[in-house]
A and B are shown apart, each in its own frame.
Chain A
Amino acid sequence: MKILVCVKRVVDYNVKVRVKSDNTGVDIANVKMSMNPFDEIAVEEAVRLKEKGLVTEVIAVSCGVTQCQETLRTAMAIGADRAILVETPADLDLQPLAVAKILKALVDKEQPGLVILGKQAIDDDANQTGQMLAALADLPQATFASKVELAADKVSVTREIDGGLETLSLSLPAVITTDLRLNEPRYVTLPNIMKAKKKQLDTVKPEDLGVDVAPRLKTLKVTEPAKRGAGVKVADVAALVEKLKNEAKVI
């Protein structure tokens, strides 16, 4: 069985982003970019399933600018066997529906038994692509996975839901999106980074796949969130309780 795992290049999660002064977007020139943290978890899970002998090949996919190759090399250093970059122009606003359509075309072509994605990207915070891919490819979905048990024709997935956990059983092929607690992604080692450079990385264009990637949502402006007024430090617990009771009136 093949696994398709989808990775996105995003602003590193430790970077505090700034809104551009003309309100057209967030300034991402010259900031550190990394693999979306949920996607690292997705790659790790795919590689672990391969290490257990349940999977024959792990294919990493990314959609976006040329530099996404670095993200794919990272995925291959973790253990993906080969990679596909669906390259789009730098000025294109690539949205979840378009990515889901690209992935659907790749699912048709590669026929994976399982597709694993992160639950959301930390830049657009959409949490849509996995579900949209499942819909377009008519596959069952298990989102927010914290445990995955793969068998020959079924996968059992424990999901994080409001209030606790839920377990589903899906027939294969299926789509899974990862939550934080699914696994602890491994660090890539230097020898594996070197080996990853020799692995196969194919580049295709959305047109080659027959997919229309035009954005559906227009971003009119991007602004700073409202700032909170400066707070005060209190000396002790008694002063804190007094303030909460009499000034803020919340207890």
Chain B
Amino acid sequence: MTVLVIAEHDNTSIKVATQNAVTAAIACGGDVHVLVAGHNAGGAAQAAAQIAGVAKVIHADAQGLAHSLAENVAAQILAIASSYSHILFPATASGKNVAPRVAAKLDVAQISDITKVVSPDTFERPIYAGNAIATVQSSDAVKVITVRTTGFDAAAATGGSAAVEAAAEAAGAGKSSYVGSEIAKSDRPELTAAKIIVSGGRALGSKEKFDEVITPLADKLGAAIGASRAAVDAGYAPNDLQVGQTGKIVAPQLYIAAGISGAIQHLAGMKDSKVIVAINKDPEAPIFSVADYGLEADLFAALPEFAKTI
């Protein structure tokens, strides 16, 4: 039994989500191989070989893999899939895009967002916005899985010494092409990997106010910034900061929810945080029911004071 992990990377380095997936792969049992598919991604392949617990790195380097198009990446995975009992992807935008395509081509079910490996064929996953946990068993020959990264600790980035093997290029279908991208530049820790997150909601009232009160506190704490759907839809914060069922799923050490009422869909994205702080004017806000520390206060006074005190 051998488990394949599909690496999430930026060509030069491996994203932490890959290390979380490696931990889940080790829990499935057997040898763990990592596929690094990309263009000029030698650096990422070298980094993957250092991850503790990885037995082999397969490096597929081709122009067609440059932008992780689902069609091309899936073809590359399918070319080697027959050697594996499990194929694991981090449940990131990229993993979710490719995994079901691979599963359907193999004619197997895909298991989304697992939070626990019970046994090599049985897994736990949240359903209904995290309001229920389903334990599912797969009888398929190959288990194609996406791994909820907050459900597993990251495997150590060093300590491994896997061999790197080059894979032959698999031809893509050529029916899709990459046009361009707009990546938000940020010096902050990545939202899904941050230890502390300061998150703002609709109560901030405007983009200016959001930046004025959320940013200084986040700077002071070295925290990532998150937002509720209401704040994103109102234009206070960019889309990729949305925390919730349909946005990012986070589980930091400390989550500070400021001016967020706590709708089911938002809680689904953050309720596994270690410590939750709610700052809200409304004593009836549902967020107080999950908060370890609740402060009933006007956030425009409380957040600057918070930033000043620490």
Chain A interface residues (CB < 8 Å from chain B): 11, 13-14, 16-17, 19, 26, 38, 95-97, 100, 119-120, 122-136, 138-144, 146, 156, 159-171, 174, 179-181, 216-225, 228-229, 231-234, 236-238, 240-241, 243-244, 248, 250-251
Pairs A–B under 8 Å by Cβ, sample size 22: A13-B265, A17-B132, A26-B132, A97-B108, A119-B246, A122-B129, A130-B100, A131-B101, A132-B101, A135-B104, A141-B70, A141-B97, A165-B182, A167-B180, A216-B109, A217-B136, A220-B122, A225-B126, A234-B293, A248-B254, A250-B275, A251-B254
Task: Give the distance to chain B from A170, nearest Cβ to Cβ, in Å.
Answer: 5
Q: Which residue of A lies closest to B279 (CB)?
A: A240
Q: Which residue of A lies closest to B271 (CB)?
A: A228
Cβ contact of A11, chosen from B71, B128, B137, B297, cutoff 8 A: B128
CB contact under 8 A between A166 and B181, given known A128-B103, A143-B96: yes
Q: Roughly how many angstroms separate A222 CA and B130 CA in the complex, as a whole number?
A: 11
Query: At the interface, is chain B mostly helix, strand, loop or mixed?
Result: mixed
Task: Give the distance to chain A from B10, nearest Cβ to Cβ, in Å.
Answer: 10
Are A144 and B93 touching (Cβ within 8 A)?
yes
Are B178 and A166 touching (Cβ within 8 A)?
yes
Cβ contact of B134, chosen from A130, A181, A222, cutoff 8 A: A222
Are B129 and A125 touching (Cβ within 8 A)?
yes
Are A231 and B288 touching (Cβ within 8 A)?
yes
CB contact under 8 A between A160 and B240, given known A122-B128, A132-B101, A225-B132: yes
Total A-B residue contacts, Cβ distance less than 8 Å: 252
Q: Which residue of A lies closest to B108 (CB)?
A: A216
Known A14-B264, A17-B131, A228-B271; further 17 A-B contacts with Cβ < 8 A: A97-B107, A135-B103, A135-B105, A138-B173, A143-B96, A156-B179, A160-B240, A165-B239, A166-B180, A166-B181, A216-B108, A217-B109, A218-B137, A222-B134, A224-B132, A225-B132, A231-B293
Tally chain B residues at the interface, Cβ within 8 Å.
87
Are A140 and B173 touching (Cβ within 8 A)?
yes
Q: Which residue of A lies closest to B92 (CB)?
A: A162
Q: Roughly how many angstroms separate A119 CA and B183 CA in the complex, as a whole number?
A: 21
CB contact under 8 A between A100 and B128, given known A240-B277, A250-B254: no
